[in-house]
Amino acid sequence: MSREQRGPNEKLGAVLALAGISNAGLARRVNDLGAQRGLTLRYDKTSVARWVSKGMVPQGAAPHLIAAAIGQKLGRPVPLHEIGLADADPAPEVGLAFPRDVGQAVKSATELYRLDLAGRRAGSGGIWQSLAGSFAVSAYATPASRWLITPADSSVAREAGSTEGSGAPIKVGHSDVRKLREAAEDARRWDSKYGGGDWRSSMVPECLRVEAAPLLLGAYSDEVGRALFGASAELTRLAGWMAFDTGQQEAAQRYYIQALRLARAAADVPLGGYVLASMSLQATYRGFGDEGVDLAQAALERNRGLATARTMSFFRLVEARAHARAGDAQAAGAALKAAEGWLERSREGDNDPSWLGFYGYDRFAADAAECYRDLKAPRQVRRFTEQALSKPTEEFVRSHGLRLVVSAVAELESGNLDAACEQGVRAVEVAGRISSARTTEYVKDLLHRLEPYGDEPRVMELRERARPLLMTSA
């Protein structure tokens, strides 16, 4: 369905020409993006011609998919007004801003909280397709640079808070902040054990909407406000991580940007670095190794002399992951060596942040193995994977599954098909117990690598065992 505009949409035509996309090409891209979101679309070159020459405006998610398709080709976000479709739902812009003003930062974050990961706008029937804009690593440029220039706001005190139904202003205290921190700690445990798609983990966006948003809009002193912004930043980063783990890259990007802004308001530089490290891991996972390096180095730069040794070790490890994805073996090796050195300098009594509780030698070994996988060094992968798999799996189930897949890839590249299939079977068993699109993608990658051996009974057995997992993710 479409509705009529007045005259041709010259803006859309101009941007299509700039991007070098034909009418048929745009139609195909929009249909493909729709399919990724569970939509069956049948646009063709004639449909696009109507949008351009007659100013027809497609209904539903289509305007946002058009912007996403063009944005992918240009390598940057494309707002609806740039393509003459600004009268469509403005939701795709939600969460991408990094305001300088604290009040605007609160507004930006709470607007995002009104959209949940299931895709429904609070209080309406809107769907996740309203955030159909594609992941664009360039959207991280402004947040990272502004955070580097000014990593803390001068004051975050808020005197005139919003009101509840009774009309009384919400006065925020330290007990309110403690509840948010406890929620974040609980969610971290569930996420590690069951994956970002587990129903318990999905309560984080609800907590942000119902609990954090009213507090951020309330009244608080500068001291309480800093703590509130820090707790909200932790929860928001966690929501982004869970979205990332479930394949909702667009949502993850928005949560990360808002988490970084909240960390700046909290004057919590290590936490801001942790958000930047999360951004880096997402960029690296999406294939943007160079940008991943920039984000990881931004985390490092502001934390020199501030963060604990273990925190700095993690940031250097994330940098190594990005260098490896970019194919720079020398830089990756140097970053890994630095990460290991920082980890060796860490001590039990260090004042490490609570959100870093997952990080130790086993996590270092696991990420080192992934670095060497990307650098196609299977012997090193095997060495580090053995260390990574030595820790009990009760608490970090998802991580164990990912490490098994990496181990299987290393065995395959070393010519050990039996061992690769054995590790693959174990990985599939773990993946079936959690809700993690990322783990499933790792399994799919392994199966793709095994295609040349598709007639082997062991490979056929692995494929059969993985079938329910792949069907669930389809």
In this predicted model, what pLDDT tens digit does every residue of 64-73 receive, in sequence order? 789 888 988 8
Residue 198 confidence (pLDDT) = 56
* Identity of the residue numbered 443: V
Only one residue has tokens 């907590």, namely 207
Note whether residue 296 is domain-resident: no
In terms of Cβ atoms closer than 10 Å to its own Cβ (0-12, 13-18, 19+), residue 203 is middle
CB 84 within 8 A of CB 103: no
Exposed, middle or buried, 52 (CB in 10 Å: 0-12/13-18/19+)? buried
Cα 114 to Cα 101: distance, rounded to the nearest angstrom: 21
pLDDT value of position 390? 79
pLDDT band at residue 126 using 50, 70 and 90 as cut-offs: very low
143 lies in a domain? Answer: no
Dist. CA 462–CA 24, nearest whole Å: 39
Using CA atoms, how far apart are residues 414 and 417, in angstroms rounded to an integer? 8
Under the banding of pLDDT at 50, 70 and 90, the label for residue 322 is: very high
User: Cβ(350)–Cβ(308) under 8 Å?
Assistant: yes
Q: Which of 88, 104, 124 is the last residue of a domain?
A: 88
- CATH number for the domain spanning 65: value is 1.10.260
CB 295 within 8 A of CB 276: yes
Q: Is 297 left (phi over 0), alpha (psi -120 to 50) or beta?
A: alpha
Query: Quick check: 237 and 274 in contact, CB under 8 A?
Result: yes
Strand partners, 3: 57
* Predicted local distance difference test score (pLDDT) of residue 161: 61
375, part of any domain: yes
* Cα 126 from Cα 128, distance rounded (Å): 7
pLDDT exceeds 70 at position 118: no
Domain assignment present for 207: no
- Examine the pLDDT at 119 and tell me if it is beyond 60: no
In-domain check, residue 226: no
What was the pLDDT predicted at 125? 33
Report the range out of 75-89, 167-181, 224-238, 344-358 with the highest average pLDDT: 224-238
Question: Residue 291 pLDDT > 90, yes or no?
Answer: yes
**What is the Cα–Cα distance from 256 to 275, expressed in whole angstroms?**
6
Q: Does residue 386 sit within a domain?
A: yes
Instruction: Give CA–CA dist 250/77, Å, rounded.
Output: 11
CA distance linking residue 146 with residue 203, whole number of Å: 30
pLDDT, average across residues 376-396: 83
For 240, phi then psi, to 5°, come to -65, -40
d(CA 43, CA 293): 38
426 part of a folded domain: yes
pLDDT at residue 452 greater than cutoff 90 = yes
Last residue of a domain, one of 88, 108, 124: 88
Q: Is the pLDDT of residue 433 over 80?
A: yes
At 465 the pLDDT is 92
SS3 call for 340? helix
Structure-derived torsion over alpha carbons of residues 291, 295, 296, 297, reported in degrees to the nearest 10 = 100
Can you give the pTM of this predicted structure?
0.80
- Answer whether residue 159 shows pLDDT above 80: yes
pLDDT at 399: 84
User: Over 70: is that where the pLDDT of 100 sits?
Assistant: yes
Angle at 356 between CA 353 and CA 360, to 5 degrees: 130
The predicted pLDDT at position 196 comes to 62
- Would you state the pLDDT for residue 59? 72
What are the pLDDT digits (tens) for 162-208? Answer: 544 445 668 999 999 999 999 999 888 887 776 666 545 568 888 99
The predicted structure's pLDDT at residue 38: 54
Question: From CA 342, how far away is CA 337, in angstroms rounded?
Answer: 9
Q: How far is CA 104 from CA 107, 265, 273, 341, in A?
A: 5, 11, 22, 41
Asked whether the beta carbons of 310 and 346 are under 8 A apart, the reply is yes
**Range of 44's domain?**
2-88
- Give a yes or no: residue 36 inside a domain: yes
Q: What are phi and psi of 308, to 5 degrees?
A: -70, 165
pLDDT score, position 121: 39
Indicate left, alpha or beta for 145 from its phi (over 0: left) and psi (-120 to 50: alpha).
alpha
CB atoms within 10 A of CB 149: 8
For range 230-240, the mean pLDDT: 96
CA distance 124 to 111: 14
Mean pLDDT throughout 112-135? 51
Residue 446: pLDDT band (50, 70, 90) is very high
Domain boundary among 70, 88, 106: 88
Q: What is the pLDDT of residue 37?
A: 59
Residue 200: C-alpha distances to residues 242, 255, 434, 435 (Å): 11, 18, 12, 11
H or E, element range at 313:
helix 309-325
pLDDT reading at 439 higher than 80? yes
DSSP H or E stretch at residue 3? strand 2-3
| Amino acid making up residue 110 | T
Question: Among 287-291, 383-387, 392-396, 462-466, whose mean pLDDT is lowest?
Answer: 392-396
Percent of the chain at pLDDT > 90 equals 59
Number of structural domains in the chain: 2
Reported as a single tens digit per residue, the pLDDT across 8-63 is 898 999 999 999 999 999 999 988 887 765 567 889 999 999 999 988 888 767 88
Residue 363 confidence (pLDDT) above 80:
yes
In the three-class reduction of DSSP (H, G, I as helix; E, B as strand; rest coil), residue 161 is classed as: coil
Q: What CATH number should be reported for the domain holding residue 460?
A: 1.25.40.10
Computed on alpha carbons and rounded to an integer, the radius of gyration of the chain in Å comes to 23
Round the average pLDDT of the chain to a whole number and report it: 86
